[in-house]
Structure 1
C-alpha cells in the first residue's frame, strides 16, 4: 500500500461478500456488490468495506450447467483507523472471472479469481492507493 508516495507492507486476509445482479441486455448483467476484506498493517487488523457497481458478461457452457462470467466493478470503500492512519475512503476497481457449476437449474457453486485496486483515496492527512491485490473467493450462486 502506498501512503503519501511511500510504500508500506500490508497483508490481506479473509474477504466476505455478497452481490445481486440482473440481466440488462442479452448476456450482460448489472448489479451491486458489497465486500468486507481484511487488511493487516503493523500487527493491527481492520476490515475494508467496499460497495460497487458490477458489469458482467455471461457465457453458458454445456446447456447452462457451467457459467463463465468475467466482470468489472467500480466502487467506493471505507476503512476504519488502522495503525497510525485515521479513517479513509477510496475509489476502487476490481476485475475477476466467476465460474459457476449449476445444480438443480438455479443453485450453483461459485468460484472467482480476480484483482482489486484501491485506485485513489485517503483522508485530509494522507493520500493512499494500493493494489493489485489478489482475490480468491467461493460461495453459492442462487
Structure 2
C-alpha cells in the first residue's frame, strides 16, 4: 500500500474512532451515527490491506464501533424501562392528586366503548371485583384492594 493511501485511510479510521469516542464521552444519542455506513467504510479500508499498524488501527476502530452498538443497546433498554409504569407509582400519584384533578384526567382520557344501556351497576361491580381479584404481575399488593 502506498504511503499516501495509508495516510488517507489512517485519517479516516482515526476520524471514525474520534466520532465514537465523542459520543461515548459526551453521552450523546448513539443513534446519530449510521453504524452500517461506518462498517461499510471500515470494510473498504480493510480490503485495501496494509501492514500490521493498519490492522491494529482497524481493530481499534472495530472496537469503538462495537462500543457504540453497546451504547445503542443500553439507550434502548433505558427508554423501554421508562415506558413501564408500576402500579405503586400510579397509586402514589393518584393519592397526591385532588379529586378535581383526577376527574379532569379521567374525562380527558375516557373513551367509552359501551353505554349505560348495555351494562348494569351489578355487572360493573362484578367486573371490578374480578379485576381486583387477579394476581399481581410482579410482587404482591401491599394495600387492600377490596371494594366496599
Q: Which has the higher strand share?
A: 1
> The TM-score by the shorter chain falls in which range?
under 0.3
Task: Using structure 1 for the length normalisation, give the TM-score.
Answer: 0.18
Query: Which of 1 and 2 has higher RCO (CA within 8 Å, sep 6+)?
Result: 2
